[in-house]
Amino acid sequence: MFPFLFLVVVVLLLPSARSSASSLNELSKRRAVLQTSFGDLHLAFYETAAPATARHIITLLGLGAYNSNHFFRVDKGFVAQVAGIEGNLMFEMNEEQREQARKTVLLEVHEELRHDRAGLLSLARHDDPNSGGSSFSIMLGPAPHLDMNYAIFGEVVEGLETLRSMEGVETTRDGIFVMPVERITIHSTYMYDIEHETTPASPAANGAAAGSTTAGS
């Protein structure tokens, strides 16, 4: 009698556990577009798995704080990494952008989420696990050594071909970093909501008032 009851309880609990794990990478309705030298990258966010991280990056994108920034690192099969905002823009940030850029977020990781494919968004950090800021990587392939050490907070939902084009650029090595010889600029960014716009047209760049228009690549 008792073993049977135990089995019933376990069977009833398993679907709930599976459902919880699968909801971690549920895609946000809010999307962002990075308009780069190589084409557009459409990003969606894991607001359940990494709410603080997603909110931080979405806020920066909404402020136009990545406009004129660049991918300082392109390591084929590993990552394309966006530089931290401060010191890498072609315009002077306003106070709101600067304040948000200096914020850090606590590490948000889950056993169920793995750096197992191209297109995932992973927040960069320093030695302190809770030092994630404005720099983030887009995975170019699996990297299991990053699991449980770096927060996965979203993925590229359109533009994987743009990533593949980036991988083909000429690079140079400086210590552990493999960097593109020519600057890969994020010319502008914008946000859209898939509930209202299934095929977004490109509006004017965010943050125009803050001098976010870049002067070439």
Please write the tens of the pLDDT for every residue from 102-150. Answer: 999 999 999 999 999 999 999 999 999 999 999 999 999 999 999 999 9
pLDDT at 22: 65
Report the C-alpha gap between 117 and 102 in whole angstroms. Answer: 29
Task: Report d(CA 43, CA 7) in Å as an integer.
Answer: 42
Token pair for 208: 């125009």
- As a whole number of Å, the CA-based R_g of the chain is 19
Q: Is 87 left (phi over 0), alpha (psi -120 to 50) or beta?
A: left
Q: Give the global pTM.
A: 0.81
The residues pairing with 73 across neighbouring beta strands, listed in sequence order, are: 81
